Amino acid sequence: MDSEIFDVGGYHSTVSNTSRITIPSGKGGYNFVYAYLTVQNNATGERLLRIYKNGAFVDANGDPKIAVTTNGRPAQSISTLMNLSAGDYIEVYVYQNSGGNLNYENNYFGVHYLGA
């Protein structure tokens, strides 16, 4: 993620650790985490979209936090409510097994602070 639409509060850097959104001081508490992307057309294999917290896959309340598609030009979205502390970081991981490279387009990834 090398660009931003907006970043109120310094959650993201376009210089270092660009894959991360890090919870800044004073913003610990409930946060809405979301991601969206569109995958290049390809009828082979599957696509997975996952949310990771501090480098580990998130699986809260039995919800696997995965969006799966199997073919075509699918759009994927994923979201969850998380209780995060200052310094925690969130990343989105994408996996595909079409047998070749695919472009991911129209990517959005964000965190919205709801309150302590």
Cβ within 8 Å of residue 65, ≥6 positions away = 50, 51, 57, 58, 59, 78, 80
- Model confidence at 105: pLDDT above 90: no
Size of the chain in residues = 116
Predicted confidence band of residue 67 (pLDDT cuts 50, 70, 90): low
Higher pLDDT, 20 or 59: 20
The per-residue pLDDT for 48 is 77
- Model confidence at 45: pLDDT above 60: yes
Distance, CA of 90 to CA of 87 (rounded, Å): 10
Confirm whether pTM is higher than 0.85. no
- Model confidence at 62: pLDDT above 50: no
Mean pLDDT (whole number) for 71-91? 84
The per-residue pLDDT for 42 is 78
DSSP of 2-32: ---S--TTS---SSSSTT-EEPPTT--EEEE
- Model confidence at 24: pLDDT above 60: yes
Predicted confidence band of residue 16 (pLDDT cuts 50, 70, 90): confident
**Amino acid identity, residue 8?**
V
Higher pLDDT, 35 or 5: 35
Mean pLDDT (whole number) for 65-84? 72
